[in-house]
Amino acid sequence: DIVMTQSPDSLAVSLGERATINCKSSQSVLHSSPTKDSLAWYQQKPGQPPKLLIYWTSTRESGVPDRFSGSGSGTDFTLTISSLQAEDVAVYYCQQYYTPPWTFGQGTKLEIK
């Protein structure tokens, strides 16, 4: 199975500042068609299902604010929130969907400093 490792486990950032979450896969998740990395990012708030933010590493889901961006390639990926808002407090997960079993990072808890 592909192991997904996020860092840090928790993060406190001031309002308006940048938040960066990293995700590393234990092997390549490069899909053949399209030729893109099969990497997604989710936001989850208490009592709610995960909300898809980013897929194919950097494609923002419809309706997701443009302060959220994804980047990376190979085995190293990053979710960046350019200017933290109060409503961004949540747990964030990365996921590889390259091959079953889908696997997820352990989650990063984002809080306001």
Partner 1 sequence: EVQLVESGGGLVQPGGSLRLSCVASGLTFSSYWMHWVRQAPGKGMVWVSRIDPDGSTTYADFVKGRFTISRDNAKNTLFLQMNSLRAEDTAVYYCVLSSGFPAYWGQGTLVTVSS
Dmax over CA atoms of the chain, in Å, equals 42
**What's the CA gap between 23 and 13, in Å, rounded?**
18
By CB under 8 A, name the one of 32, 87, 101, 113 that touches partner 1: 101
**What's the CA gap between 24 and 22, in Å, rounded?**
7
* Contact status: 105 vs partner 1 (CB under 8 A): yes
* Contact status: 95 vs partner 1 (CB under 8 A): yes
* Contact status: 64 vs partner 1 (CB under 8 A): no
Residue 54 host element (H or E): strand 51-55
**What's the CA gap between 70 and 79, in Å, rounded?**
5
CB of 31 to partner 1, least distance (A): 8
* Contact status: 11 vs partner 1 (CB under 8 A): no
By CB under 8 A, name the one of 40, 53, 84, 90 that touches partner 1: 40
* Contact status: 103 vs partner 1 (CB under 8 A): yes
CB of 46 to partner 1, least distance (A): 10
CB of 92 within 8 A of CB of 43? Answer: yes
* Contact status: 108 vs partner 1 (CB under 8 A): no
